[in-house]
A and B are shown apart, each in its own frame.
Chain A
Amino acid sequence: GAGVSQSPSNKVTEKGKDVELRCDPISGHTALYWYRQSLGQGLEFLIYFQGNSAPDKSGLPSDRFSAERTGGSVSTLTIQRTQQEDSAVYLCASSGRVLANTGELFFGEGSRLTVL
C-alpha cells in the first residue's frame, strides 16, 4: 500500500496482558514515530526511529513500553502487563527525511487499544 499501515485497528485486552502493535511505514521512509492519543488529549510522543541511529525513547511512559524496528522498516510497539490507563489510540507516523522544516509526518489510521 501507499500509506502507513497499522495493525490491529482495534484491540481489546484484559488488564495484565501483553499487546503488540505493528506499524508498516511508507516504503523508503527512514524516520518512524509512535504517538499516543487519549480521548480529548493531544498527541503524546512515545518513541522515534531514524535510520540506523539509536532510537529516541524519551517519551515512553514506563518500562512496560518498548518498541523495535527491524530492518529499518516495520516497527512493533509492545506494552507489557497492560493497565487501564494504557487505553488510547496508538498512532504511527513516518517521514522521508530527518525531521526537517517540512514537518510533514504521514500517519497511519492508528490502533485503538482498550484495556478492560
Chain B
Amino acid sequence: RKEVEQDPGPFNVPEGATVAFNCTYSNSASQSFFWYRQDCRKEPKLLMSVYSSGNEDGRFTAQLNRASQYISLLIRDSKLSDSATYLCVVNEGQAGTALIFGKGTTLSVSS
C-alpha cells in the first residue's frame, strides 16, 4: 500500500523559532517530492520541490533522504504568517494516481 506519513502535530512555536517537519514514504521507486502549504479552509498551494541535493528558498529548506525514505522541511525564523498545514507530496510516476498527499502537519506560530 502506498503511504505518505506525517506527524499531524500541531506544532506550536513562538515567532522566531526554528521548526522541522519530517515525512516518510513507503514506495522506494518514488520519483519526486514536494511540500505544499494549505491555509485553513483554503486550497493547497505548492511551497517547494525537494531535490536530491537539498534546496533552500529563503527561510525554508527541504531535504530528501532516499536511503531512509524521508523528506524534511525546515523553517527558520518562524513568522505568524507561516501558520498553516504543510502537506508532504510524493510523485510515484505519470498516472493520475501518482501524486500521493500526506495528511499534513499543522504549524501554529504565536507572538
A residues bordering B, Cβ < 8 Å? 33, 35, 40-43, 45, 47-48, 50, 55-56, 58-59, 91, 98-105, 107-110
Contact = CB atoms under 8 A, between A and B. Distances in A.
Nearest to B93: A99
- Sorted nearest first, the 5 A-B pairs with minimum C-beta distance are A48-B96, A56-B96, A107-B43, A42-B103, A43-B101
Given A42-B102, A42-B104, A56-B95, A103 B43 contact: no
Interface string B91-111: 101111111011110000000
A45 B96 contact: yes
B55 interface: no
Contact of A107 (B44, B91, B94, B102): B44
A91 B101 CA distance: 13
Nearest to B4: A42
A58 B101 contact: no
Contact of A109 (B42, B89, B103, B104): B42
B91 A101 contact: yes
Most buried by B among A47, A56, A99: A99
B49 interface: yes
Interface residues of B, number: 26
Interface in B3-50: 4, 8, 31-34, 42-46, 49
B10 to A, nearest CB: 12
A99 B99 CA distance: 9
B62 interface: no
A40 B102 CA distance: 11
A81 B97 CA distance: 25
Contact of B43 (A101, A104, A109): A109
Contact of B103 (A41, A98, A102): A41
A90 to B, nearest CB: 11
B100 to A, nearest CB: 8
B87 interface: yes
B38 to A, nearest CB: 9
